[in-house]
Each structure stands twice: as structure tokens, then as C-alpha cells.
Amino acid sequence: MQKEKTKILIVDDNPDVLLAAKLLLKPHIDFITTEEDPNKIPNLLDKENYDVILLDMNFTQDVTSGHEGFYWLNKIIQIDPSAVVLLITAFGDVEMAVKAVKEGATDFVLKPWQNEKFLTTITSALKLRESKVALANLRNQQKQLSNDLDQKFHNLIGISDKMKEVFDIINKVALTEANVLILGENGTGKELVARALHRQSQRAEEAFINLDMGAISSTLFESELFGHVKGAFTDAREDRAGRFEIASGGSLFLDEIGNLPLELQPKLLSVLQNREVRRVGSNKLIPIDIRLICATNMPLSNMVNESKFRQDLLYRINTVEINLPPLRERVEDIPLLSEHFLISFRKKYNKDSLDISKSALDKMKNYTWPGNIRELQHTLERSVIMSESPILTSEDIFLPRRNKNNTSLIFDTYNLEEIEKNIIKKIVKKHDGNISKAAKELGLTRTSLYRRLEKFGL
């Protein structure tokens, strides 16, 4: 990639200073503009973006106070907030330098200057400008990406009464600071709800940080959430902020909160109560300001009764609960969801004219979808890949066989842990121990599946 040419503007009422600076900088700078009249600054900035602006502190009308320099410094920053301005003066002192930096100047140069020091200051200013431009571009890209991807409810789609209730709760809760607990089966879209809450909140311009609580080990829990300092443990080679610090000012989404071991729950509760974190290996308390959103597919109320989840932590995280319905309870949304996914898959697999038949939709409506929307998405993607006709029929929709009672699985027990254990055991066996394939079918990450295998001794 071709490097951008450097551009500098020098404004000083002394033509000798302008000439000296230009001669010194000419071998190092691509374009140098000099100007004696500061009143021309707005017009110059309107026509060109300068990497560095060298600005005299004192012009002929006001010889030593620096008032004109401060006036034009403020004017430049109003026009270009990311401008890098170096103030130059023969009457500088520390007090004036501090004031200049506080008002937006990057540095302060005394004249007559030492050439090497002057060039070093210019080089540093150019690097700063480069960093500012890169950061501004990154923020613009992120904002545009957010605008493109994050419509009000984005991929959270539905016209069913149950989904309308969900949308209504989101609209009511989003602008508050209430902690929200999202409940629902795997694949129902809990993270999408969390992101919708963030997008409609007063923190929408700040960070949305998520963490899968089922994917972190007990030993890394504090480091991941609260951060650590260099040397705190064997692999701590540098200071690192935790998720709470990174999310401060924005929203923190803790997914699979039900998987948090009981012995670690008091540490999370303490941070939520005190709004402070202490990095591992440090005694310094760091204030945090986050909006907490949690999600789980586990029955936390039952876990409280079984002493597997702290009641006081449950009270802390669920000021408002949002219950996401499984897909089998909102079958009227299947055509809308199917069309949404097809739009993406048509483009992805170059099948622009591909459509879906009523028989295919009817078949999907009569299926119980244990994997919910995630399973629907995977089913449609497979059908698009395998289909050789311009329309998907019921024969193109591959679904697992169900038993005669129209359920996907028959359980000998209603103990949720036993059900989860048996399903995991069955799926791992189905894939001959291939953890990646088993995790994908179960809608889990590999790490989450390993944790469950360890939990159940499988």
C-alpha cells in the first residue's frame, strides 16, 4: 500500500522563521505550506488536511501574551478536532506550555530551536497524527459496520405473539440501567436479545463485551473477568485488563451464567455490589461502570433450591427477566426466518433464484426443532448446498426422524442434568467421539462441551 504524503502548515508572521523552518523540513516533508497571516487559517484548512500545524504563539498585534496563539489554536481544533498543533514562541515558559497542552496543543517549541530537537518533535507529531487518523478510520468502520449489521432487532425476527412480547419488553427495558437475565433454550437467540438491549440503550456508542461463562476454567475466571498485573502468575507476562474494565461505560454480556461454579459466585456478586474490580496480583481497586446482561438455558430458580446457585446473585442479575420461546412455540415465524436465512445462502452459494416451496415450509412447521433457530439455519444451509433444483421441496429438507409421539427424544427421567448427560453421551457416540462435530450439533463450543464431559465424567 502506498504511503500517504506528509503535509505541514507553518503559520508565523516572521518570514525569516518561515523560511528557516521550510528549509529544515524540506528534505523530510513532502508538502510544506507557509503563511504569515493567521486569518487565512480557516480557508487553508478548508482546502487541505495537514498532518501537522506549526503555529506561532504571538503575532505582531499581541507580542508576548500568547493570546492570539491560543485563539487560533482553539479555532483550528474546532475545524479539525484531530489536528496535531505545535505552538512556537520565543517567550515560552512552563506555565504557558502546560496551558497550551491543556487546550489541545500537542507540544511546545521554543525559538530559536535546535535543529535535531525540532526534527524529533516533528517526527513524533507525524506519528501521533497517523495514529489519530488510523483510530478515527477504525471508529468510522466500526460505526458503519454497526449501522449495517445492527438494525433495531437485527437478526431477531418474528411476528408471533410470543416474539412481540419479547420485543415489547426490550423496548421498555433497554433505556433503563436494569440488569437483565435472558432465559431460553440453546439456539433461541439469547445473544441477539442482549445486543438489541445494548443497541437501544444509552450506552449504545460504547462497548458491548460478551463472555461465555461455560468456556472459561475456574483457574482463569478472575483473570478473564477482573484482569491481572504482570507477574501475578506464571503466564502473566504483561498487565491485562479484564472484561469488566474493557466493558466499563458499555454493556457486559455473561452468557451461560448458570455454568458458573458455586465457589466463584461470591466473587462475581462482590464486584456487582461494589462496582469495583481488583486485578489479580494487585491491591488497587478499579471502579467499573457496566450494564449487566446475563443469559442461560438452565433453570436457575431450581438450582437455587438445590443450593447450586446463590439466591442473592440471582436477585442481583435478574432485575428483569426475558423468556425467549423455543421455535416449536412460534412456528408462525418459520417462513419469515427461512426467507431471512435464504437471502444470505442464495448469495453465499450463488443460487440467486432459489426459492422454497409450501411443502418444505409445512414440513418444517411440523418439526419440533430441539436445536431451535440455530438448527433451522443449519438445516436450510445444508438444503441449499445439496439442492439441484430452483426450488426447495419437502424432500430437500433433511430432518431427523421423530418417534410416534412427535417428539425428538424420549426421556426416562425429567431430571435436567440426567437429560443433558444422556443427550451429550448419545451425540458424542453418534459422531464416534469427534468433539468438533458433536459440539456443533449440540450448539456448543468445543470448550463448553469439554467442560460438560468433565462435569458428567464422560
Element (H, E) at 72: helix 67-79
Q: 3-state DSSP call for residue 54?
A: strand
Cα pseudo-dihedral 356, 358, 359, 363, rounded to 10? 90
Contact 280, 242 (CB under 8 A): no
Residues listed for the chain: 458
Q: Strand 355-356 relative to strand 391-392: parallel, antiparallel, unpaired?
A: parallel
Segment 193-200 shows an average pLDDT of: 93
**Bridge-partner residues for 294, per DSSP?**
181, 254
Spell out the residues 6+ positions from residue 401 whose beta carbon is closer than 8 angstroms to its own. Answer: none
Residue 317 per-residue DSSP state: H
pLDDT over 90 at 191, yes or no: yes
Contact 341, 376 (CB under 8 A): yes
Q: What is the CA radius of gyration of the chain?
A: 30
pLDDT over 70 at 149, yes or no: no
**Residue 406: what pLDDT?**
45
Residue 148 C-alpha cell reads as: 449495517
pTM exceeds cut of 0.85: no
Do 160-323 and 327-396 share a fold?
no
Q: Return the CATH superfamily for domain 160-323.
A: P-loop containing nucleotide triphosphate hydrolases (3.40.50.300)
Residue 144 C-alpha cell reads as: 458503519
Specify the CATH class of 327-396 in words.
Answer: mainly alpha
Specify the CATH class of 7-141 in words.
Answer: alpha beta
Segment 180-203 shows an average pLDDT of: 94
| Model pLDDT for residues 21-31, shown as the tens digit of each residue | 899 999 999 99
Residue 354 C-alpha cell reads as: 432459489
| Model pLDDT for residues 254-296, shown as the tens digit of each residue | 999 999 999 999 999 999 999 999 999 988 899 999 999 999 9
Strands (E), 324-412: 355-356, 391-392
Strands (E), 364-429: 391-392
Q: Strand 240-241 relative to strand 227-228: parallel, antiparallel, unpaired?
A: antiparallel
pLDDT band at 407 (very low <50, low <70, confident <90, very high): very low
**Residue 57: what pLDDT?**
80
CATH label, 416-456, candidates 1.10.3470, 3.30.429, 3.30.70, 1.10.10: 1.10.10
**Residue 145: what pLDDT?**
52
Give the whole-angstrom CA distance, residue 182 versus residue 87: 54
| Model pLDDT for residues 198-233, shown as the tens digit of each residue | 999 999 988 899 999 988 888 888 899 999 888 888
Element (H, E) at 382: helix 372-386
Give the whole-angstrom CA distance, residue 325 versus residue 450: 27
Query: Domain ranges in the chain?
Result: 7-141, 160-323, 327-396, 416-456
Place of cell 449495517: 148
pLDDT band at 452 (very low <50, low <70, confident <90, very high): confident
* Residue closest to 374 by CA, chosen among 225, 186, 248: 186
pLDDT over 90 at 10, yes or no: yes
| Model pLDDT for residues 27-83, shown as the tens digit of each residue | 999 999 999 888 999 999 888 889 999 988 877 655 556 677 788 888 888 888 888
Q: Strand 320-323 relative to strand 291-296: parallel, antiparallel, unpaired?
A: unpaired
Q: 3-state DSSP call for residue 457?
A: coil
Residue 325 per-residue DSSP state: P
